């Protein structure tokens, strides 16, 4: 029987954070299954996004640290393990409706399907439904697409449920295009296997857990056995999918400046929230009780609410740009390690599929080159867009020219947790390199 943690400091602090964020994050706690070392959370929205957001809230508590681990008997996805005060507690995230989220399902179609199809030689010109049926027949746990049986066990439910996606035909067509690209790459350089990297612990040996690759091409030993990570994007021919997604707080974490983030929260409260009628005290910043007041304020004072949100958006955008400019070395490291996901021995390419066509988006490699060749001083400049309230840019002066990186910062939550209800922890996206 699992150790009971009910009376420990760790359990108390973790559950307090969970309870403070239940309404905001659209989740509930299963109190019938929290007697031991596991806490079960039911998520109304995408559970992976909820997991990420809750981890950030937990790590705001001094002495607590989150990590991911896979426990087959508990969930098909990684759970969150929280360590602190000499104890460990695990949080398991479940979808309220019991089904997998379509966004995750669609991503898996474009990632897992090509890995299986390439290895088993399935014809990419087949009707999507026929292509899928042959995938199901060919699928087995011994395929090189799976690092181990755990990977197979994670992949099979996605494969079985793929036809339930509203975008099944579109995403399967994208998968066929990606398979074609792999076939072409194999003619250039012999591929030993293509590995599905769904979770950190399912990536090939030697690949960093935070590598941005969705699938990994492992070249044959006769070709040196090198590994190429491929980040897959699927969309319309003219769409531009974000190539990097994060939030404000992780940027401060990467810079080693979480104390500055805490100061920014206090300044945010005094500047944008203190004047809201009925607002709760400063120590409730970001918590459920304060978010409820903000949500009520939006309904009654929509014009003022929008003005405050726009002002805070500008405030945070300006601060981030200023932080980049004052800390150029940290900014360059962030660009390399987070935006470009640099791993010297496992390069990354971004491959976009649109219909049955593919193209390589080389922005990550351009970033790496520009960062490494930029001037040691005055080689980086961050600044807000003059034409958009949410866009901002970084200029890297490298060799004989300047390369402009396009970013955006905005709310990405729904309901009362959006805009002012998201506070300063807004979404940050890298949207590619400016065209010249």
DSSP string, 187-198: HHS-EEEEEE--
Position 42 in a domain? yes
Question: Hey, which bits of 74-181 come out as E strands?
Answer: 79-84, 87-95
Pair (155, 71) in one structural domain = no
- The pLDDT score that the predictor gives to residue 358 is 83
Position 200 in a domain? yes
Pair (22, 129) in one structural domain = no
Pair (119, 207) in one structural domain = yes
- The pLDDT score that the predictor gives to residue 399 is 59
- The pLDDT score that the predictor gives to residue 122 is 97
Pair (419, 279) in one structural domain = yes
Query: Which range marks the domain in which residue 40 is found?
Result: 9-95
Pair (427, 311) in one structural domain = yes
Here the CATH number for the domain that contains residue 18 is 3.30.460
Please give the model's pTM, rounded to 2 decimal places: 0.53
DSSP state letter for 122? -
Position 311 in a domain? yes
- The pLDDT score that the predictor gives to residue 32 is 65
- CB-based burial label for 302 (10 Å; 0-12, 13-18, 19+): exposed
Pair (311, 408) in one structural domain = yes
- The pLDDT score that the predictor gives to residue 239 is 46
Pair (124, 260) in one structural domain = no
Of 65, 95, 125, the last residue of a domain is 95
Pair (221, 162) in one structural domain = yes
361 pairs with which residues across the strands? Answer: 350
Position 357 in a domain? no
Residue by residue, pLDDT tens for the chain (436 residues) are: 455 677 788 888 898 888 877 766 777 777 666 666 889 888 866 677 788 788 888 888 888 888 888 887 888 778 899 999 888 999 998 876 544 567 778 888 999 999 999 999 999 999 999 999 999 999 999 999 999 988 898 899 889 989 988 889 999 999 999 999 999 999 988 999 999 998 767 888 888 877 778 999 999 886 667 898 888 877 654 444 445 778 899 899 889 999 999 999 999 999 999 999 999 999 999 988 999 999 999 999 999 999 999 999 999 999 999 999 999 989 988 887 777 766 667 877 778 888 888 877 655 566 666 665 565 556 789 999 998 999 999 998 865 678 888 999 999 887 888 899 999 999 898 887 776 5
Total tally of structural domains belonging to the chain: 3
Pair (297, 194) in one structural domain = no
Pair (274, 334) in one structural domain = yes
Rounded to a whole number of angstroms, the distance between the first and last alpha carbons of the chain is 63
Say which residues have a Cβ less than 8 Å from residue 242's Cβ, sequence separation at least 6: 408, 429, 430, 431
Position 404 in a domain? yes
Of 95, 111, 131, the last residue of a domain is 95
Say which residues have a Cβ less than 8 Å from residue 396's Cβ, sequence separation at least 6: 367, 370, 371, 374, 379, 380, 402, 403, 404, 405
Pair (168, 65) in one structural domain = no
φ/ψ of residue 362, rounded to 5? -95, 20
Position 399 in a domain? yes
Give yes or no for a contact between 74 and 31, defined as CB atoms under 8 angstroms apart.
no
Pair (214, 269) in one structural domain = no
Of 202, 234, 266, the last residue of a domain is 234
- The pLDDT score that the predictor gives to residue 127 is 95
Position 299 in a domain? yes
- The pLDDT score that the predictor gives to residue 241 is 45
- The pLDDT score that the predictor gives to residue 242 is 45
Mean pLDDT score of the chain, rounded to an integer?
85
Q: What's the CA gap between 337 and 343, in Å, rounded?
A: 8
Position 337 in a domain? yes
């Amino acid at each position: 029987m699992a150790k009971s943690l009910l009376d420990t400091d760790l359990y108390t602090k973790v559950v307090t954070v969970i309870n403070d964020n239940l309404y905001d994050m659209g989740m509930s706690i299963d109190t019938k299954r929290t007697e031991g070392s596991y806490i079960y959370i039911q998520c109304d929205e995408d559970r992976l996004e909820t997991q990420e957001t809750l981890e950030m809230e937990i790590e705001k508590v001094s002495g607590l640290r989150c990590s991911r681990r896979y426990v087959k008997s508990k969930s098909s996805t990684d759970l969150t393990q929280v360590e602190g005060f000499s104890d460990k507690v695990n949080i398991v995230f479940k979808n309220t409706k019991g089904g997998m989220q379509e966004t995750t399902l669609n991503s898996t179609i474009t990632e897992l399907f090509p890995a299986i199809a390439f290895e088993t030689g399935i014809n990419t010109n087949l009707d999507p439904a026929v292509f899928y049926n042959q995938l199901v027949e060919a699928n087995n746990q011994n395929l090189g697409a799976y690092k181990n049986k755990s990977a197979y066990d994670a992949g099979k439910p996605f494969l079985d449920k793929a036809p339930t996606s509203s975008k099944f035909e579109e995403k399967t067509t994208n998968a066929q295009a990606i398979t074609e690209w792999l076939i072409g790459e194999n003619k250039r350089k012999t591929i030993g296997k293509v590995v599905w990297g769904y979770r950190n612990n399912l990536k090939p040996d030697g690949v960093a857990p935070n590598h941005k690759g969705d699938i990994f091409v492992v070249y044959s030993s006769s070709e040196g056995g090198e590994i190429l990570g491929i980040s897959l994007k699927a969309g319309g021919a003219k769409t531009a999918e974000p190539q990097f997604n994060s939030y404000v707080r992780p940027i401060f974490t990467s810079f080693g400046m979480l104390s500055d983030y805490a100061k920014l929260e206090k300044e945010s409260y005094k500047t944008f929230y203190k004047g809201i009628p009925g607002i709760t005290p400063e120590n409730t910043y970001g918590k459920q009780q304060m978010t409820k007041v903000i949500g009520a304020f939006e309904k009654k004072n929509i014009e003022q609410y929008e003005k405050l949100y726009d002002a805070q958006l500008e405030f945070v955008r300006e601060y981030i740009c200023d932080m980049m400019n004052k800390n150029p070395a940290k900014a360059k490291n962030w660009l390399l390690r987070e935006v470009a996901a640099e791993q010297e021995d496992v390069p990354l390419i971004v491959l976009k599929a649109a219909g049955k066509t593919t193209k390589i988006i080389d922005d990550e490699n351009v970033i790496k080159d520009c960062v490494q060749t930029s001037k040691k001083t005055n080689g980086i400049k961050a600044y807000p867009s003059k034409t958009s309230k949410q866009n901002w840019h970084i200029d890297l002066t490298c060799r004989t020219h300047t390369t402009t990186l396009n970013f955006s910062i905005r709310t990405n939550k729904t309901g009362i947790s959006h805009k002012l209800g998201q506070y300063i922890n807004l979404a940050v996206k890298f949207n590619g390199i400016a065209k010249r």
